[in-house]
A and B are shown apart, each in its own frame.
Chain A
Amino acid sequence: MKINNRFKKSLSMLIITIVVLFILNKVLDDYKLRVLNLCGIYIILGLSMNLINGFTGLFSLGHAGFMAIGAYTVAILTMPAPMKEMNFFMKPIVPFLANIEWSFFPALMMGGVMAGLFGFLIGAPVLRLTDDYLAIATLGFAEIIRVVFTNTQSITNGALGLKGIPASTNVWWSWGLALVTILFMTFLMEGSYGKAFNAIREDEIAARSMGINLFTHKVMSFTFGSFLAGVGGGLLAALLGTIDPNMFRIVLTFNILLIVVLGGLGSIKGSVVSAIIVTIAMEALRFLDESINLGFVKLEGVAGMRMVIFSIILMAVVIFRKEGLLKEN
Protein backbone atom coordinates (compact mmCIF):
# COMPACT_ATOMS: atom_id res chain seq x y z
CA MET A 1 0.00 0.00 0.00
CA LYS A 2 2.62 2.48 1.16
CA ILE A 3 5.17 1.16 -1.31
CA ASN A 4 2.58 1.34 -4.06
CA ASN A 5 1.77 4.96 -3.27
CA ARG A 6 5.40 5.88 -3.29
CA PHE A 7 5.86 4.10 -6.58
CA LYS A 8 3.01 6.09 -8.12
CA LYS A 9 4.39 9.32 -6.75
CA SER A 10 7.87 8.57 -8.04
CA LEU A 11 6.53 7.58 -11.42
CA SER A 12 4.56 10.79 -11.80
CA MET A 13 7.60 12.80 -10.68
CA LEU A 14 9.67 10.97 -13.27
CA ILE A 15 7.18 11.63 -16.06
CA ILE A 16 6.92 15.31 -15.13
CA THR A 17 10.71 15.60 -15.07
CA ILE A 18 11.00 13.98 -18.49
CA VAL A 19 8.33 16.23 -19.99
CA VAL A 20 9.90 19.34 -18.48
CA LEU A 21 13.34 18.34 -19.71
CA PHE A 22 11.93 17.61 -23.15
CA ILE A 23 10.39 21.06 -23.35
CA LEU A 24 13.40 22.85 -21.91
CA ASN A 25 15.62 20.96 -24.32
CA LYS A 26 13.58 22.40 -27.19
CA VAL A 27 13.16 25.98 -26.04
CA LEU A 28 16.36 26.89 -24.19
CA ASP A 29 19.32 28.48 -25.95
CA ASP A 30 22.77 26.90 -25.81
CA TYR A 31 23.93 28.83 -22.79
CA LYS A 32 20.83 28.03 -20.75
CA LEU A 33 21.00 24.40 -21.79
CA ARG A 34 24.53 24.29 -20.48
CA VAL A 35 23.32 25.59 -17.12
CA LEU A 36 20.58 22.95 -17.13
CA ASN A 37 23.19 20.27 -17.74
CA LEU A 38 25.33 21.69 -14.98
CA CYS A 39 22.38 21.40 -12.61
CA GLY A 40 22.13 17.67 -13.33
CA ILE A 41 25.86 17.19 -12.88
CA TYR A 42 25.92 19.13 -9.62
CA ILE A 43 23.07 16.99 -8.29
CA ILE A 44 25.32 13.96 -8.75
CA LEU A 45 28.28 15.74 -7.20
CA GLY A 46 26.29 17.11 -4.27
CA LEU A 47 24.79 13.71 -3.47
CA SER A 48 28.16 12.00 -3.71
CA MET A 49 29.71 14.40 -1.24
CA ASN A 50 26.68 14.19 1.01
CA LEU A 51 27.07 10.42 1.12
CA ILE A 52 30.58 10.77 2.54
CA ASN A 53 30.29 13.95 4.61
CA GLY A 54 26.61 14.07 5.48
CA PHE A 55 25.38 10.50 5.76
CA THR A 56 28.51 8.83 7.05
CA GLY A 57 29.96 11.78 8.97
CA LEU A 58 33.41 11.61 7.39
CA PHE A 59 35.09 14.81 6.37
CA SER A 60 36.47 14.61 2.87
CA LEU A 61 37.69 17.50 0.76
CA GLY A 62 38.91 15.47 -2.19
CA HIS A 63 36.09 15.96 -4.65
CA ALA A 64 38.01 18.07 -7.15
CA GLY A 65 40.65 15.33 -7.33
CA PHE A 66 38.14 12.54 -7.99
CA MET A 67 36.38 14.69 -10.56
CA ALA A 68 39.69 15.34 -12.31
CA ILE A 69 40.33 11.60 -12.55
CA GLY A 70 36.87 11.01 -14.01
CA ALA A 71 37.16 13.95 -16.40
CA TYR A 72 40.56 12.95 -17.77
CA THR A 73 39.58 9.30 -18.07
CA VAL A 74 36.53 10.19 -20.13
CA ALA A 75 38.46 12.71 -22.24
CA ILE A 76 41.32 10.37 -23.08
CA LEU A 77 39.07 7.38 -23.71
CA THR A 78 36.58 9.15 -25.98
CA MET A 79 38.74 11.53 -28.04
CA PRO A 80 39.36 10.25 -31.55
CA ALA A 81 42.97 9.61 -32.59
CA PRO A 82 43.37 12.61 -34.92
CA MET A 83 42.04 14.94 -32.23
CA LYS A 84 44.55 13.53 -29.77
CA GLU A 85 47.33 14.11 -32.25
CA MET A 86 46.30 17.75 -32.62
CA ASN A 87 46.22 18.24 -28.85
CA PHE A 88 49.50 16.57 -28.05
CA PHE A 89 51.74 18.75 -30.21
CA MET A 90 54.33 19.42 -27.54
CA LYS A 91 54.88 15.79 -26.67
CA PRO A 92 53.04 12.87 -28.25
CA ILE A 93 50.61 10.80 -26.23
CA VAL A 94 51.80 7.40 -25.03
CA PRO A 95 51.16 4.88 -27.84
CA PHE A 96 48.73 2.62 -26.02
CA LEU A 97 46.29 5.49 -25.44
CA ALA A 98 46.75 7.07 -28.88
CA ASN A 99 44.23 4.94 -30.76
CA ILE A 100 41.74 4.15 -28.05
CA GLU A 101 38.27 5.41 -28.81
CA TRP A 102 35.51 4.22 -26.52
CA SER A 103 31.91 5.21 -26.67
CA PHE A 104 30.67 7.61 -24.05
CA PHE A 105 28.90 5.40 -21.52
CA PRO A 106 31.67 2.82 -20.97
CA ALA A 107 34.18 5.67 -20.77
CA LEU A 108 32.05 7.41 -18.17
CA MET A 109 31.78 4.25 -16.10
CA MET A 110 35.52 3.79 -16.38
CA GLY A 111 35.93 7.37 -15.11
CA GLY A 112 33.85 6.43 -12.09
CA VAL A 113 35.75 3.21 -11.53
CA MET A 114 39.14 4.95 -11.70
CA ALA A 115 37.98 7.62 -9.24
CA GLY A 116 36.51 4.92 -6.98
CA LEU A 117 39.78 3.00 -7.14
CA PHE A 118 41.75 6.05 -6.06
CA GLY A 119 39.18 6.71 -3.36
CA PHE A 120 39.76 3.22 -2.07
CA LEU A 121 43.54 3.58 -2.21
CA ILE A 122 43.53 6.81 -0.20
CA GLY A 123 40.62 5.93 2.02
CA ALA A 124 41.86 2.52 3.16
CA PRO A 125 45.08 3.57 4.91
CA VAL A 126 43.63 6.75 6.40
CA LEU A 127 40.34 5.23 7.56
CA ARG A 128 42.05 2.23 9.10
CA LEU A 129 43.72 4.48 11.65
CA THR A 130 41.42 7.38 12.36
CA ASP A 131 39.42 9.60 10.08
CA ASP A 132 40.65 12.76 11.79
CA TYR A 133 43.18 13.12 9.02
CA LEU A 134 40.84 12.35 6.16
CA ALA A 135 40.21 16.02 5.40
CA ILE A 136 43.91 16.75 5.18
CA ALA A 137 44.73 13.58 3.27
CA THR A 138 42.00 14.16 0.68
CA LEU A 139 42.81 17.84 0.32
CA GLY A 140 46.44 16.91 -0.25
CA PHE A 141 45.42 14.21 -2.68
CA ALA A 142 43.35 16.61 -4.78
CA GLU A 143 46.27 19.02 -5.04
CA ILE A 144 48.70 16.22 -5.86
CA ILE A 145 46.42 14.95 -8.63
CA ARG A 146 46.38 18.44 -10.12
CA VAL A 147 50.17 18.68 -10.02
CA VAL A 148 50.60 15.17 -11.40
CA PHE A 149 48.19 15.90 -14.26
CA THR A 150 50.11 19.10 -15.01
CA ASN A 151 53.33 17.14 -15.32
CA THR A 152 52.38 13.91 -17.03
CA GLN A 153 52.43 15.55 -20.42
CA SER A 154 52.39 12.36 -22.48
CA ILE A 155 49.15 11.23 -20.86
CA THR A 156 47.22 14.38 -19.95
CA ASN A 157 48.89 16.94 -22.19
CA GLY A 158 49.93 18.80 -19.04
CA ALA A 159 49.04 22.43 -18.48
CA LEU A 160 47.86 22.80 -22.08
CA GLY A 161 44.81 20.77 -21.20
CA LEU A 162 42.64 18.85 -23.63
CA LYS A 163 40.43 20.47 -26.24
CA GLY A 164 37.85 18.96 -28.52
CA ILE A 165 36.52 16.31 -26.17
CA PRO A 166 33.44 14.85 -27.89
CA ALA A 167 30.48 16.81 -26.52
CA SER A 168 28.45 13.76 -25.55
CA THR A 169 26.84 15.17 -22.43
CA ASN A 170 23.31 16.31 -23.08
CA VAL A 171 20.30 16.84 -20.90
CA TRP A 172 19.39 13.15 -21.09
CA TRP A 173 22.78 11.97 -19.90
CA SER A 174 23.21 14.53 -17.13
CA TRP A 175 19.68 14.34 -15.80
CA GLY A 176 19.31 10.63 -16.51
CA LEU A 177 22.35 9.87 -14.40
CA ALA A 178 21.25 12.41 -11.79
CA LEU A 179 18.00 10.45 -11.45
CA VAL A 180 19.90 7.18 -11.23
CA THR A 181 22.06 8.72 -8.50
CA ILE A 182 18.98 9.89 -6.60
CA LEU A 183 17.57 6.36 -6.76
CA PHE A 184 20.92 4.86 -5.78
CA MET A 185 21.15 7.12 -2.74
CA THR A 186 17.53 6.58 -1.73
CA PHE A 187 17.80 2.80 -1.86
CA LEU A 188 21.23 2.75 -0.26
CA MET A 189 20.13 4.89 2.66
CA GLU A 190 16.90 2.95 3.17
CA GLY A 191 18.77 -0.30 3.43
CA SER A 192 20.63 -1.72 6.31
CA TYR A 193 24.06 -0.67 5.00
CA GLY A 194 22.98 2.93 4.64
CA LYS A 195 21.55 2.88 8.15
CA ALA A 196 24.85 1.52 9.38
CA PHE A 197 26.55 4.55 7.76
CA ASN A 198 24.15 6.76 9.70
CA ALA A 199 24.90 4.91 12.88
CA ILE A 200 28.61 5.56 12.40
CA ARG A 201 27.91 9.25 11.97
CA GLU A 202 25.76 9.33 15.10
CA ASP A 203 28.06 7.45 17.46
CA GLU A 204 31.09 5.44 16.45
CA ILE A 205 31.54 3.74 19.81
CA ALA A 206 27.94 2.57 19.90
CA ALA A 207 28.08 1.53 16.23
CA ARG A 208 31.09 -0.72 16.64
CA SER A 209 29.74 -2.10 19.89
CA MET A 210 26.68 -3.18 17.89
CA GLY A 211 28.98 -5.14 15.60
CA ILE A 212 29.40 -2.67 12.77
CA ASN A 213 32.88 -2.85 11.26
CA LEU A 214 33.75 0.83 11.06
CA PHE A 215 36.57 0.39 8.61
CA THR A 216 34.73 -1.58 5.93
CA HIS A 217 31.66 0.65 6.13
CA LYS A 218 33.61 3.88 5.95
CA VAL A 219 35.68 2.63 3.03
CA MET A 220 32.49 1.50 1.29
CA SER A 221 30.85 4.89 1.66
CA PHE A 222 34.00 6.74 0.64
CA THR A 223 34.55 4.56 -2.42
CA PHE A 224 30.95 4.97 -3.61
CA GLY A 225 31.25 8.71 -3.12
CA SER A 226 34.49 8.86 -5.10
CA PHE A 227 32.97 6.78 -7.88
CA LEU A 228 30.06 9.19 -8.24
CA ALA A 229 32.42 12.17 -8.14
CA GLY A 230 34.35 10.58 -11.02
CA VAL A 231 31.15 10.15 -13.02
CA GLY A 232 30.27 13.80 -12.36
CA GLY A 233 33.73 14.87 -13.49
CA GLY A 234 33.40 12.80 -16.66
CA LEU A 235 30.03 14.35 -17.50
CA LEU A 236 31.51 17.79 -16.94
CA ALA A 237 34.42 17.08 -19.31
CA ALA A 238 32.03 15.93 -22.03
CA LEU A 239 29.84 18.97 -21.45
CA LEU A 240 32.56 21.61 -21.60
CA GLY A 241 34.64 19.93 -24.29
CA THR A 242 37.78 21.42 -22.77
CA ILE A 243 39.57 20.58 -19.55
CA ASP A 244 42.83 21.52 -17.93
CA PRO A 245 44.34 20.74 -14.53
CA ASN A 246 43.58 24.18 -13.11
CA MET A 247 39.85 23.62 -13.44
CA PHE A 248 40.11 21.16 -10.58
CA ARG A 249 41.20 23.48 -7.82
CA ILE A 250 39.92 23.44 -4.27
CA VAL A 251 37.28 26.05 -5.22
CA LEU A 252 35.46 23.32 -7.10
CA THR A 253 35.28 21.19 -3.96
CA PHE A 254 34.15 24.26 -2.08
CA ASN A 255 31.22 24.78 -4.48
CA ILE A 256 30.02 21.25 -3.86
CA LEU A 257 30.47 21.61 -0.12
CA LEU A 258 28.30 24.71 -0.35
CA ILE A 259 25.56 22.69 -2.05
CA VAL A 260 25.74 19.98 0.59
CA VAL A 261 25.71 22.36 3.56
CA LEU A 262 22.92 24.57 2.21
CA GLY A 263 20.79 21.55 1.36
CA GLY A 264 21.43 19.95 4.71
CA LEU A 265 23.91 17.25 5.69
CA GLY A 266 22.19 13.92 5.29
CA SER A 267 19.31 15.13 3.15
CA ILE A 268 18.85 13.76 -0.36
CA LYS A 269 16.05 16.14 -1.30
CA GLY A 270 18.01 19.04 0.15
CA SER A 271 21.08 18.30 -1.95
CA VAL A 272 19.02 18.03 -5.13
CA VAL A 273 17.21 21.33 -4.64
CA SER A 274 20.33 23.06 -3.40
CA ALA A 275 22.38 21.84 -6.39
CA ILE A 276 19.89 23.45 -8.75
CA ILE A 277 19.67 26.71 -6.81
CA VAL A 278 23.42 27.08 -6.31
CA THR A 279 24.22 26.27 -9.93
CA ILE A 280 21.73 28.82 -11.23
CA ALA A 281 22.78 31.40 -8.63
CA MET A 282 26.42 30.98 -9.61
CA GLU A 283 25.47 31.89 -13.16
CA ALA A 284 22.99 34.59 -12.24
CA LEU A 285 25.46 36.33 -9.96
CA ARG A 286 28.20 36.25 -12.56
CA PHE A 287 27.65 40.01 -13.05
CA LEU A 288 29.17 40.60 -9.62
CA ASP A 289 32.54 39.58 -10.98
CA GLU A 290 32.18 41.80 -14.03
CA SER A 291 31.63 45.51 -14.39
CA ILE A 292 28.07 46.86 -14.52
CA ASN A 293 27.19 49.83 -16.66
CA LEU A 294 24.17 51.65 -15.30
CA GLY A 295 24.39 54.34 -17.98
CA PHE A 296 25.23 57.23 -15.70
CA VAL A 297 27.64 55.35 -13.51
CA LYS A 298 29.85 52.36 -14.16
CA LEU A 299 30.42 49.96 -11.27
CA GLU A 300 33.64 48.03 -11.45
CA GLY A 301 33.11 44.34 -10.74
CA VAL A 302 35.48 42.55 -8.44
CA ALA A 303 36.78 39.18 -9.61
CA GLY A 304 35.93 36.58 -6.98
CA MET A 305 33.06 38.60 -5.52
CA ARG A 306 30.65 35.71 -6.06
CA MET A 307 32.83 33.44 -3.99
CA VAL A 308 32.93 35.99 -1.20
CA ILE A 309 29.15 36.14 -1.14
CA PHE A 310 28.79 32.37 -1.17
CA SER A 311 31.40 32.02 1.56
CA ILE A 312 29.47 34.43 3.74
CA ILE A 313 26.26 32.48 3.15
CA LEU A 314 28.07 29.26 3.99
CA MET A 315 29.42 30.66 7.25
CA ALA A 316 26.04 32.06 8.20
CA VAL A 317 24.39 28.69 7.62
CA VAL A 318 27.01 26.83 9.61
CA ILE A 319 26.58 29.25 12.51
CA PHE A 320 22.83 29.87 12.52
CA ARG A 321 21.22 26.91 10.85
CA LYS A 322 23.39 23.84 10.93
CA GLU A 323 20.70 21.57 9.53
CA GLY A 324 20.82 23.46 6.24
CA LEU A 325 18.45 25.97 4.68
CA LEU A 326 16.30 23.45 2.89
CA LYS A 327 15.96 20.61 5.34
CA GLU A 328 12.43 20.32 6.67
CA ASN A 329 11.50 20.19 10.38
Chain B
Amino acid sequence: MLKIENMTMRFGGVVAANKFNADIEKGQIVGLIGPNGAGKTTIFNVITGVYRPTEGKIIFNPGEEEQDITGLRPDEIAKLGICRTFQNIRLFKELSVLDNVFIGNHLRIESNVFSSILKFPNYRKEEKMMLEKSLYLLEKVGLEDEKDGKAHSLPYGKQRRLEIARALATEPKLLLLDEPAAGMNPQETRELMEFIKDIKDEFELTIFLIEHHMEVVMGICEEILVLDHGSLIAQGDPESIQTDSNVIEAYLGVE
Protein backbone atom coordinates (compact mmCIF):
# COMPACT_ATOMS: atom_id res chain seq x y z
CA MET B 1 0.00 0.00 0.00
CA LEU B 2 2.77 2.44 0.95
CA LYS B 3 6.51 2.22 0.79
CA ILE B 4 8.85 4.74 2.33
CA GLU B 5 12.39 4.44 1.02
CA ASN B 6 15.38 5.94 2.79
CA MET B 7 13.46 9.01 3.77
CA THR B 8 15.35 11.77 5.55
CA MET B 9 13.76 15.00 6.68
CA ARG B 10 15.98 17.77 7.97
CA PHE B 11 14.84 21.07 9.44
CA GLY B 12 18.00 23.14 9.43
CA GLY B 13 20.21 21.23 11.81
CA VAL B 14 17.43 19.03 13.22
CA VAL B 15 17.16 15.61 11.63
CA ALA B 16 13.52 14.77 12.30
CA ALA B 17 13.60 11.56 10.26
CA ASN B 18 16.76 9.71 9.39
CA LYS B 19 16.93 7.21 6.49
CA PHE B 20 13.51 5.93 7.46
CA ASN B 21 12.18 2.85 5.71
CA ALA B 22 8.75 1.32 5.96
CA ASP B 23 6.54 -0.96 3.96
CA ILE B 24 2.89 -0.88 4.86
CA GLU B 25 0.87 -3.73 3.52
CA LYS B 26 -2.66 -3.46 2.29
CA GLY B 27 -5.35 -4.15 4.86
CA GLN B 28 -3.07 -3.88 7.87
CA ILE B 29 -3.23 -1.68 10.93
CA VAL B 30 0.30 -0.46 11.48
CA GLY B 31 1.37 1.45 14.56
CA LEU B 32 4.12 4.05 14.80
CA ILE B 33 5.41 4.64 18.31
CA GLY B 34 8.30 6.46 19.89
CA PRO B 35 9.06 9.13 22.48
CA ASN B 36 7.95 12.73 22.03
CA GLY B 37 9.96 14.48 19.37
CA ALA B 38 11.00 11.19 17.77
CA GLY B 39 9.74 12.39 14.39
CA LYS B 40 6.44 10.54 14.10
CA THR B 41 4.29 13.46 13.05
CA THR B 42 7.02 14.54 10.66
CA ILE B 43 6.71 11.19 8.88
CA PHE B 44 2.97 11.78 8.47
CA ASN B 45 3.65 15.28 7.20
CA VAL B 46 6.06 13.92 4.61
CA ILE B 47 3.64 11.20 3.47
CA THR B 48 0.79 13.68 3.06
CA GLY B 49 2.89 16.24 1.21
CA VAL B 50 3.03 18.92 3.89
CA TYR B 51 6.84 18.64 3.67
CA ARG B 52 8.96 17.45 0.80
CA PRO B 53 11.56 15.04 2.20
CA THR B 54 15.19 16.12 2.08
CA GLU B 55 16.04 12.70 0.69
CA GLY B 56 14.26 9.51 -0.19
CA LYS B 57 11.02 8.46 -1.84
CA ILE B 58 7.42 7.76 -0.96
CA ILE B 59 5.75 5.15 -3.15
CA PHE B 60 1.99 4.65 -3.10
CA ASN B 61 0.57 1.28 -4.22
CA PRO B 62 3.97 -0.35 -4.74
CA GLY B 63 3.90 -3.06 -7.39
CA GLU B 64 2.10 -2.89 -10.70
CA GLU B 65 0.45 0.51 -10.58
CA GLU B 66 2.90 2.15 -8.26
CA GLN B 67 3.03 5.91 -7.99
CA ASP B 68 5.90 8.01 -6.75
CA ILE B 69 4.12 10.60 -4.61
CA THR B 70 7.24 12.30 -3.27
CA GLY B 71 6.80 16.07 -3.49
CA LEU B 72 3.18 16.03 -4.62
CA ARG B 73 0.88 18.62 -3.06
CA PRO B 74 -1.29 17.57 -0.09
CA ASP B 75 -4.50 17.94 -2.10
CA GLU B 76 -3.13 15.73 -4.88
CA ILE B 77 -2.15 13.10 -2.35
CA ALA B 78 -5.58 13.26 -0.72
CA LYS B 79 -7.18 12.74 -4.13
CA LEU B 80 -5.08 9.63 -4.68
CA GLY B 81 -6.55 8.20 -1.49
CA ILE B 82 -4.36 9.08 1.48
CA CYS B 83 -6.05 11.08 4.20
CA ARG B 84 -5.17 11.97 7.75
CA THR B 85 -6.17 13.40 11.08
CA PHE B 86 -4.06 15.83 13.07
CA GLN B 87 -2.38 15.54 16.44
CA ASN B 88 -3.51 19.06 17.33
CA ILE B 89 -7.05 18.77 15.99
CA ARG B 90 -7.57 20.92 12.92
CA LEU B 91 -11.28 21.14 12.33
CA PHE B 92 -13.04 23.94 10.46
CA LYS B 93 -13.92 25.41 13.83
CA GLU B 94 -16.57 27.96 12.98
CA LEU B 95 -18.42 25.65 10.61
CA SER B 96 -21.08 23.16 11.58
CA VAL B 97 -20.26 19.56 12.40
CA LEU B 98 -22.13 18.45 9.29
CA ASP B 99 -20.32 20.95 7.06
CA ASN B 100 -16.98 19.67 8.29
CA VAL B 101 -17.79 16.21 6.98
CA PHE B 102 -19.56 17.57 3.88
CA ILE B 103 -16.39 19.46 2.90
CA GLY B 104 -14.49 16.19 3.13
CA ASN B 105 -16.55 15.04 0.12
CA HIS B 106 -15.70 18.06 -2.00
CA LEU B 107 -12.53 16.65 -3.56
CA ARG B 108 -14.56 14.01 -5.41
CA ILE B 109 -17.08 16.43 -6.91
CA GLU B 110 -17.52 16.31 -10.66
CA SER B 111 -19.97 19.17 -11.27
CA ASN B 112 -18.34 22.55 -11.78
CA VAL B 113 -18.92 25.66 -9.71
CA PHE B 114 -21.53 27.09 -12.10
CA SER B 115 -23.67 23.95 -11.83
CA SER B 116 -23.46 24.35 -8.06
CA ILE B 117 -24.60 27.98 -8.14
CA LEU B 118 -27.40 27.31 -10.62
CA LYS B 119 -28.27 24.09 -8.80
CA PHE B 120 -28.31 22.03 -11.97
CA PRO B 121 -29.61 18.46 -11.69
CA ASN B 122 -26.12 16.97 -11.95
CA TYR B 123 -24.99 19.04 -8.98
CA ARG B 124 -28.14 18.38 -6.96
CA LYS B 125 -27.69 14.69 -7.45
CA GLU B 126 -24.09 14.83 -6.28
CA GLU B 127 -24.97 17.07 -3.35
CA LYS B 128 -27.68 14.69 -2.22
CA MET B 129 -25.23 11.80 -2.25
CA MET B 130 -22.61 13.84 -0.43
CA LEU B 131 -25.12 14.81 2.20
CA GLU B 132 -26.33 11.26 2.70
CA LYS B 133 -22.79 10.01 3.00
CA SER B 134 -21.94 12.76 5.50
CA LEU B 135 -24.92 11.91 7.65
CA TYR B 136 -24.07 8.24 7.51
CA LEU B 137 -20.51 8.96 8.63
CA LEU B 138 -21.74 11.19 11.45
CA GLU B 139 -23.97 8.39 12.60
CA LYS B 140 -21.02 6.04 12.43
CA VAL B 141 -19.01 8.25 14.81
CA GLY B 142 -22.06 8.93 16.96
CA LEU B 143 -22.38 12.62 16.23
CA GLU B 144 -25.65 12.69 14.33
CA ASP B 145 -27.38 14.60 17.13
CA GLU B 146 -24.73 17.29 17.11
CA LYS B 147 -24.66 17.84 13.38
CA ASP B 148 -25.88 21.44 13.47
CA GLY B 149 -23.60 22.64 16.24
CA LYS B 150 -20.30 24.33 15.55
CA ALA B 151 -17.30 22.03 15.42
CA HIS B 152 -15.40 23.87 18.15
CA SER B 153 -18.26 23.52 20.63
CA LEU B 154 -17.81 19.74 20.74
CA PRO B 155 -15.88 18.18 23.61
CA TYR B 156 -12.38 16.99 22.83
CA GLY B 157 -13.10 13.31 22.28
CA LYS B 158 -15.91 14.08 19.88
CA GLN B 159 -13.74 16.50 17.95
CA ARG B 160 -11.30 13.65 17.38
CA ARG B 161 -14.10 11.45 16.09
CA LEU B 162 -15.34 14.24 13.84
CA GLU B 163 -11.87 14.51 12.33
CA ILE B 164 -11.97 10.82 11.53
CA ALA B 165 -15.41 11.17 9.93
CA ARG B 166 -14.16 14.08 7.83
CA ALA B 167 -11.15 12.07 6.70
CA LEU B 168 -13.38 9.11 5.80
CA ALA B 169 -15.52 11.37 3.65
CA THR B 170 -12.56 11.81 1.30
CA GLU B 171 -12.77 8.06 0.55
CA PRO B 172 -9.22 7.18 1.49
CA LYS B 173 -7.52 3.85 0.89
CA LEU B 174 -4.86 4.65 3.44
CA LEU B 175 -5.87 6.45 6.61
CA LEU B 176 -3.28 8.10 8.83
CA LEU B 177 -4.32 8.76 12.43
CA ASP B 178 -2.07 11.00 14.52
CA GLU B 179 -2.68 10.13 18.19
CA PRO B 180 -6.40 9.44 17.83
CA ALA B 181 -6.81 8.49 21.50
CA ALA B 182 -5.05 11.55 22.92
CA GLY B 183 -7.24 13.21 25.52
CA MET B 184 -9.75 10.37 25.62
CA ASN B 185 -10.78 8.58 28.79
CA PRO B 186 -10.35 4.77 29.07
CA GLN B 187 -13.95 4.13 28.08
CA GLU B 188 -13.67 6.34 24.98
CA THR B 189 -10.33 4.75 24.16
CA ARG B 190 -11.80 1.27 24.17
CA GLU B 191 -14.65 2.42 21.95
CA LEU B 192 -12.15 4.03 19.63
CA MET B 193 -10.25 0.75 19.23
CA GLU B 194 -13.42 -1.06 18.25
CA PHE B 195 -14.30 1.78 15.94
CA ILE B 196 -10.95 1.70 14.16
CA LYS B 197 -11.22 -2.04 13.54
CA ASP B 198 -14.78 -1.56 12.40
CA ILE B 199 -14.09 1.17 9.82
CA LYS B 200 -11.05 -0.71 8.58
CA ASP B 201 -13.28 -3.61 7.60
CA GLU B 202 -16.22 -1.61 6.35
CA PHE B 203 -14.25 0.78 4.14
CA GLU B 204 -11.47 -1.66 3.25
CA LEU B 205 -8.85 0.62 4.71
CA THR B 206 -5.22 0.33 5.49
CA ILE B 207 -4.48 2.22 8.69
CA PHE B 208 -1.22 3.77 9.86
CA LEU B 209 -1.50 5.26 13.31
CA ILE B 210 0.61 7.09 15.83
CA GLU B 211 -0.34 6.44 19.42
CA HIS B 212 0.96 6.77 22.95
CA HIS B 213 -1.65 4.58 24.61
CA MET B 214 0.13 1.21 24.62
CA GLU B 215 -3.21 -0.48 25.15
CA VAL B 216 -4.37 0.77 21.77
CA VAL B 217 -1.18 0.03 19.90
CA MET B 218 -0.73 -3.45 21.33
CA GLY B 219 -4.43 -4.16 21.05
CA ILE B 220 -5.14 -3.42 17.41
CA CYS B 221 -1.88 -3.14 15.47
CA GLU B 222 -0.61 -6.11 13.55
CA GLU B 223 2.71 -4.46 12.91
CA ILE B 224 4.53 -1.85 14.96
CA LEU B 225 7.33 0.50 13.99
CA VAL B 226 9.39 2.08 16.75
CA LEU B 227 11.06 5.39 16.14
CA ASP B 228 13.70 7.10 18.23
CA HIS B 229 15.48 10.31 17.26
CA GLY B 230 14.23 10.00 13.72
CA SER B 231 15.53 6.46 13.21
CA LEU B 232 13.68 3.18 13.09
CA ILE B 233 14.96 1.10 16.01
CA ALA B 234 12.61 -1.84 15.93
CA GLN B 235 9.83 -3.36 13.90
CA GLY B 236 7.58 -6.35 14.36
CA ASP B 237 4.39 -7.72 15.87
CA PRO B 238 3.24 -6.54 19.33
CA GLU B 239 4.82 -9.44 21.26
CA SER B 240 8.24 -9.07 19.73
CA ILE B 241 8.18 -5.29 20.26
CA GLN B 242 7.32 -5.69 23.93
CA THR B 243 10.35 -7.90 24.44
CA ASP B 244 12.76 -6.04 22.18
CA SER B 245 15.70 -4.80 24.23
CA ASN B 246 16.25 -1.70 22.06
CA VAL B 247 12.70 -0.64 22.59
CA ILE B 248 12.70 -1.24 26.31
CA GLU B 249 15.84 0.81 26.63
CA ALA B 250 14.81 3.69 24.40
CA TYR B 251 11.19 3.92 25.15
CA LEU B 252 9.22 1.56 27.27
CA GLY B 253 11.90 1.45 29.94
CA VAL B 254 12.00 5.17 30.46
CA GLU B 255 8.29 5.39 30.74
Find chain A residues with CB under 8 A from B48 CB.
209
A202: which B residues are within 8 A, CB to CB? 91-95
B238 at the interface (CB under 8 A from A): no
B95 touches A208 (CB 8 A): no
CA distance A206 to B93 in the complex (A): 11
Which of B94, B103, B130: most chain A Cβ within 10 A? B103
Closest-by-CB residue of A relative to B124 is: A191
Residues of the A chain whose Cβ atoms lie less than 8 Å from the Cβ of B148: none
Q: Is the interface of A mostly helix, strand, loop or mixed?
A: helix
Do A192 and B92 touch (CB < 8 A)? Answer: no
Q: A203-B90, A213-B75 are in contact. Are A195 and B99 (CB under 8 A)?
A: yes
- Which of A191, A198, A199 counts the most B-chain CB atoms under 10 A from its CB? A191
What residue in chain A is nearest B131 (Cβ atoms)?
Answer: A192
* Cα–Cα, bound, A191→B126 (Å): 11
A211 touches B102 (CB 8 A): no
Report the number of A-B residue pairs with Cβ-Cβ less than 8 Å.
103
Which residue of A192, A195, A209, A220 is within 8 Å of B74 (Cβ)? Answer: A209
How far, in angstroms, from A209 to B108 measured CA to CA in the complex?
13
Q: B103 and A199: CB pair below 8 A? A: yes
Measured CB to CB, the closest approach of chain B to A134, in angstroms, equals: 20
Instruction: Report whether A191 and B105 are in contact in the complex, using a CB–CB cutoff of 8 Å.
Output: no
Interface size class of B (residues with CB under 8 A): 35 or more
Q: A195-B102, A199-B95, A199-B103 are in contact. Are A211 and B75 (CB under 8 A)?
A: yes
CA distance A208 to B127 in the complex (A): 20
Is A212 an interface position by the 8 A CB rule?
yes
Which of A199, A207, A209, A220 contacts B113, CB < 8 Å? A220
Q: What residues of chain A have their CB less than 8 Å away from a CB belonging to chain B? A: 184, 187-188, 191-196, 198-199, 202-203, 205-214, 220
Those 7 A-B pairs whose CB atoms lie nearest each other, nearest first: A211-B107, A211-B78, A191-B116, A202-B92, A206-B90, A208-B74, A193-B113
Query: What are 25 of the A-B contact pairs (CB < 8 Å)?
Result: A184-B117, A187-B116, A188-B117, A191-B123, A191-B127, A192-B126, A193-B113, A193-B117, A195-B95, A195-B99, A195-B102, A195-B103, A196-B103, A203-B90, A203-B93, A205-B86, A206-B86, A207-B103, A209-B83, A210-B75, A210-B83, A210-B167, A210-B170, A212-B75, A212-B103
